[in-house]
Amino acid sequence: MSDIATVFGGSGFIGRYVVRRLARAGKTVRVAVRDTEAALFLKTAGGIGQIVPLYSPVNNDADVKRAVEGADWVVNLVGVLTESRAASFQAIHVDAAARIANAAKTAGASRLVHMSAIGADPASDSRYAASKGDGETAVRAAFPGATILRPSIVFGPEDNFFNRFAGMTRILPFMPVIEGATRMQPVFAGDVADAVLAALQSDEAVGKTYELGGPKAWLFVDLLAYVLKVTGRDLSLVNMPLPLVRLQACILGMLPGKLLTRDQLKLLAYDNVVASAALGLSDLGISPTAIEQIVPDYLRRYRAGGGRKPTTLAA
């Protein structure tokens, strides 16, 4: 058994948590990324030489093969929320997933964990969800024993969910609500990382799919109200007419950064919660962390004055 674990996308939001867990487990961790400079911060999460950033773009067969050579564990965390010319859903969620799974199998890796998403379905009308579903199919075909993890919305200090909406409270006169009745089950990034490690270590997880969610399902509008409460912003929640939102999505989806796309609007129409019959965090021995335990600490900076308490001057 090798002591090497390769993590594709290890410098990303979830990846940094996964790399730390693997380092604590005693593995030498190859962080397979496009930008090795951006992954250097991870080196302090392990001993000298334990964490190795490795140039490995997932669209190159030779680089992917080199990244998994000699590795016992392989983790694929690579994904995109919006498409670009350089990174389409097909290229990242399907082609790259198949390439990594094939390389891991050929290299003799004993375990592969593939990060997907709740709602992954080849038949979905969302290109994102359909590509995630096709990616799962490709991974299963190449590496039947792979463990697939499907998280709901992932939160943590570096997230692009709570931070985005908290940032909006600084500049908007109200909080816009789109598909407010959609249910979501936010899951802590640390719990997702624990799930990755548990799946790699457990014989029971081989070939199985787990859906990862927090302890509570929330209405989207209630999550937005919670953000307003935590940030101390007295803003009204305003339901946005869908025809207007669709028009905005068409325009904003063509701008740099793609603040809102038509595909994301489709995703918002569907609940993002763990299915009643699905395996979940508890099946991996993990108790989910509530957002109330984590989110207030990192959203404090969005309060008036940066969340600092006013200084009381002595008389």
Q: How far apart are CA 164 and CA 170, in angstroms?
A: 10
Measure the CA–CA gap between 294 and 300, rounded to whole angstroms: 11
- DSSP code string of the chain: ---EEEEETTTSHHHHHHHHHHHHTT-EEEEEES-SGGGGGGGGGSSTTTEEEEE--TT-HHHHHHHHTT-SEEEE----SS--SSS-HIIIIIIHHHHHHHHHHHHT-SEEEEE--TT--TT-SSHHHHHHHHHHHHHHHH-TT-EEEEESSEESTT-SSHHHHHHHHHH-SSEEESSTT-EE--EEHHHHHHHHHHHHH-GGGTT-EEEE--S--EEHHHHHHHHHHHHT----EEEPPHHHHHHHHHHHTTSTT-SS-HHHHHHHTS-BS--TTSB-GGGGT-PPPPHHHHHHHHHGGGSGGGGPPPPPPP-
CB 288 within 8 A of CB 191: yes
Is residue 97 predicted with pLDDT exceeding 80? yes
Mean pLDDT of 209-222: 98
Least confident of 13-22, 164-173, 256-265, 300-309: 256-265
Residue 258 predicted with pLDDT over 90: no
pLDDT of res. 142: 98
Confidence of residue 110 (pLDDT cuts 50, 70, 90): very high
pLDDT at position 310, please? Answer: 47
Give the rounded percent of residues in the chain with a pLDDT score beyond 90: 83
| Residue 252 predicted with pLDDT over 50 | no
pTM for this prediction: 0.93
> How many angstroms separate the CA atoms of 304 and 157, rounded?
19
pLDDT at position 248, please? 62
**The pLDDT of residue 246:** 63
- Band (pLDDT 50/70/90 cuts) for residue 221 is very high
3-state SS, one letter per residue, for 142-153: HCCCCEEEEECC
Q: How far apart are CA 55 and CA 57, in angstroms?
A: 7
Answer yes or no: are the C-beta atoms of 69 and 107 closer than 8 Å: yes
Indicate the pLDDT class of residue 256, thresholds 50, 70 and 90.
very low
Per-residue model confidence (pLDDT) at position 251: 45
